[in-house]
Structures are given as C-alpha cells and as structure tokens.
Amino acid sequence: MEKHNFSIEFFPPKTPEGAEKLRATRIKLSELHPKYFSVTFGAGGTTQQGTLDTVREILAAGEQAAPHLSCVGGSRASIRAVLADFKAAGVSRIVALRGDLPSGYGASGEFRYANELVEFIRAETGDHFHIEVAAYPEVHPQARSPQDDLQAFARKVQAGADAAITQYFYNADAYFQFVEQTQKMGINVPIVAGIMPITNYTQLMRFSDMCGAEIPRWVRLKLASFGDDSASIKAFGLDVVTGLCERLLEGGAPGLHFYSMNQAAPTTALWQRLVK
C-alpha cells in the first residue's frame, strides 16, 4: 500500500461538538498515516473559515492538509485573499473545484469553470500549490455528453492541475475506461479513485441521486433487503467496497481517496482489510 497515494476527506464542523468529534476522528485516522487530509469548502464559500480553521489544526498536528477551494460565486479578489490565507497557514496542496451554486444564488461570479480557477491559481502562485481537480468516471451530472465531460477534464489538466480525485463510484470498469480515455487524449496525471464507504442505505441513495453516482442494481436490492438492520448493511457494504478497492489497486489505480463523512470506523475497517 505504501506505493499508493492514500488520503482522507473531512467536512468542516459547524458546531463546537462537531469540532470535538472531528478532532477525535482525525486522531484515530492519523494512525493510518494517510498522505494528507482534505477539507471541503462550502458553496459560495459558506464554510470558508471553517475550512481554514480545520486545515490549520491538521497542520499544527504535524499532518498534511489540502483545503478544497470552490470558485463559484467568487471574485478574483476574494480567491486571491483565500490563496494568501492558505499560503500563510502553510498549505502546499489544494483541491480546486468549480463547486455548486448555493440555493437561490443567481450569478456565478468571475469564474465559470474549474479550469479557470486552476489557471488563476497558477498565475497567482506559480508552482507553490500541488493542485488536485475532480474527475467523473460516470460523467458529471451536468455534462452535455461523456465527450464534453472528458474535454472539460482535459482543460483542467492543461490549465495546470497536477492530479485528480474522482467522484465516488461502485463500478470499477467505469474508472478504468475513464483513465484509458484520458490517456488516449495524452493526459497522464494521476487519477486517484474516490471511495465512499457504505454504512447507511438511505443516506447513500440520497447522495448518489444528487451527484450522479450509480449504485449497481444488485447492490441496491441487497441493501434495501436489509431494512433497518444497520449491522448487515455495514458488513455487506464493507465487503462490496473492499472488493472494489482491491480491484482498483490491482488494476493500477495510483491511490484511494476516502470520503470519511467525519467518521473514523468505516475508513479504518476498509484500510485494515486492504493492508492484510
């Protein structure tokens, strides 16, 4: 596993209790020695301060941290200020995203697409930041076509992205086909597979409907058959996602990025299975 890029994602806590819980989660997950922890960034910058505070705490603990930066609704001046804050905090890695429009938000600001944000970061800061961008093996839900989505990804890499993290998925073939297609286009940046542990059927269905991630029919039916039996859902989910991770790593994925949902147990259980 050492040769792979293994990372874990958090979202900024909204309450003091949430901050305490995340602190405990991070301490547990740091025992797995991930390459870095990423911290999400709310639409329109709604959690900007929370992201920075969480990142500072991770860095102060001696871990690597990568804040997400979404540009939707932002201006060049506001993004420039955020980049200065990140540099001052000691950040050297950024996950650069377009981001979603907050509810009722009319204008999209000065940046329309993530490639424009990547280009701006490079123009402002040179090579100071290692920039990760998003990739969508099952096609971005707002893309006009799979080919358009590939072209959008290519523009982000051409603008200066160093690597990519995918939306989560449960179909390894979709990932491998996406990587193969990008390589045929001359794109050779590492594309790390995003992994979502399965712990709650209702929550997983809601997230997947929102982001366009497909849950294979057999997995969906099996999860639904467990009803409220959370222990069975977690055990089955662990088997499914472990198998997915093993296939991805054996097939050449450069690493895994775990969407932790600010919980230590699901990612730890997966990791323990994978290192055996």
Whole-angstrom distance between the N-terminal and C-terminal Cα of the chain?
Answer: 10
Q: Tokens 């990739």: give the residue.
A: 135
Contact by Cβ (8 Å): 34, 8:
yes
Contact by Cβ (8 Å): 43, 75:
no
User: Is 9 among the residues known to form the active site?
Assistant: yes
Contact by Cβ (8 Å): 135, 166:
yes
Bridge-partner residues for 259, per DSSP?
9
Helical (H) or strand (E) element with 224: helix 217-225
Closest to 168 measured CA to CA, from 130, 212, 220: 212
Q: C-alpha distances in angstroms, 43 versus 94, 256, 259?
A: 16, 25, 18
CA distance 55 to 272: 26
Q: Which sequence positions are flagged as catalytic?
A: 9
